[in-house]
Each structure stands twice: as C-alpha cells, then as structure tokens.
Amino acid sequence: MNKTVKVIVRIVIYVIAALTKSKYHGKHKF
C-alpha cells in the first residue's frame, strides 16, 4: 500500500466517524 492510500483511507474513516457522531449529537447539521 502507498502512503497516499493509507492517508486517504484514514481521512475517509475519520470523516465517516465525524458524520456518525454529528448525526447522533447534533441533528441540525444534517
């Protein structure tokens, strides 16, 4: 795996986690 791929995967996971958290905590954003 390239370093770039690892970074992209990490960012995607982070974004998904952030979206999930915001759905539960703040329903105003989504």
- What is the value of pTM for the model shown? 0.56
Q: Let me know: does 22 contact 29? Beta carbons within 8 Å.
A: yes
The per-residue pLDDT for range 1-30, each reduced to its tens digit, is 689 999 999 999 999 988 887 666 666 554
**pLDDT for 29:** 52
Q: What is the DSSP letter of 9?
A: H
Q: What SS3 state is found at 2?
A: coil
Distance, in Å, from the CA atom of 24 to the CA atom of 30, rounded to the nearest integer, reads: 10
What would you report as the CA-atom Rg of the chain, rounded to the nearest whole angstrom?
A: 12
